[in-house]
């Protein structure tokens, strides 16, 4: 009977020692605070994930941006009524014509003057010179010099040969600037400017 009690006591002591060792190891592991470090790491990662998550304001801005891109990508064709289109088209043509005229005016001065163009200018629009009252009934012939521009319009006029009456000369020079010619061209077909001399008779 004593032997049995002795064995039971030994077994109890061994079991107590083993449980004590296990408990001591657990407490030592807990003192190293691995769970605390893991919690910190989880907390930090949670912050990162929350920072990457889309906030309601960011979601709203993204939706607005997508709508804007969609509207911009759409093309709307506006059909104009006939009268409106004519007005718009006419206005556009006037602007384009004005730009072209301004460009030609600037370039016109750079067009060379030819003394003997291959295609000479021809007078296509003219009218009689109004008789000046100061001439007192005198009849005279004035030779007018025209510098015909590249577009057929005289750039200036002057007296090449006088009529002997300054009033007749002045009337001819002033009026003949409104005459028009066909443009002159050189041998290569390019527009040129040239001098033209025309005798103009003025009668009362």
pLDDT (tens digit, 9 = 90+) per residue, 180-199?
999 999 999 999 999 999 99
Q: What is the pLDDT of residue 42?
A: 42
Q: Give every CB contact of residue 153 below 8 A, 6+ residues apart in sequence.
A: 180, 181
Q: What is the pLDDT of residue 146?
A: 98
DSSP assigned state of 9: H
Q: What is the pLDDT of residues 120-171, one digit of tens each?
A: 999 999 999 999 999 999 999 999 999 999 999 999 999 999 999 999 999 9
pTM score, two decimals?
A: 0.49
Q: Give every CB contact of residue 91 below 8 A, 6+ residues apart in sequence.
A: none
Do residues 120 and 194 lie in contact, with contact meaning Cβ atoms separated by under 8 Å?
yes
Q: Which two tokens stand for residue 155?
A: 């750039």
Q: What is the pLDDT of residue 81?
A: 63
Q: What is the pLDDT of residue 107?
A: 64
pLDDT band at residue 83 under the 50/70/90 scheme: low
Q: What is the pLDDT of residue 34?
A: 46
Do residues 154 and 79 lie in contact, with contact meaning Cβ atoms separated by under 8 Å?
no
Q: What is the pLDDT of residue 57?
A: 73
Q: What is the pLDDT of residue 40?
A: 47
Which residues are paired to 144 by β-bridges?
Answer: 159, 198
Q: Select from 1, 13, 192 the least CA-distant residue to 109.
A: 192
Return the sign of the alpha-carbon dihedral for residues 128, 131, 137, 141: negative
Average pLDDT of the chain to the nearest whole number: 75
């Amino acid at each position: 009977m004593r032997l049995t009690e002795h064995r039971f006591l030994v077994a109890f002591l061994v079991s107590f020692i083993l449980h004590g060792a296990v408990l001591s190891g657990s407490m030592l592991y807990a003192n190293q605070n691995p769970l605390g470090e893991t919690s910190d790491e989880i907390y930090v990662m949670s912050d990162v994930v929350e920072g990457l998550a889309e906030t309601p304001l960011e979601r709203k801005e993204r939706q607005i941006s997508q709508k804007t891109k969609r509207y911009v990508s759409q093309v709307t064709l506006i059909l104009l009524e006939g009268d409106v289109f004519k007005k718009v088209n006419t206005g556009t043509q006037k602007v384009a014509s004005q730009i072209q005229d301004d460009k030609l005016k600037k370039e016109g001065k750079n067009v060379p003057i030819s003394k003997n163009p291959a295609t000479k200018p021809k007078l296509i629009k003219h009218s009689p010179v109004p008789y000046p009252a100061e001439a007192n009934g005198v009849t005279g012939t004035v030779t007018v010099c025209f510098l015909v521009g590249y577009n057929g319009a005289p750039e200036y006029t002057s007296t090449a040969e006088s009529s002997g009456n300054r009033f007749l000369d002045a009337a001819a020079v002033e009026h003949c600037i409104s005459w028009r010619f066909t443009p002159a061209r050189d041998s290569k077909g390019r527009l040129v400017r040239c001098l033209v001399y025309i005798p103009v008779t003025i009668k009362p």
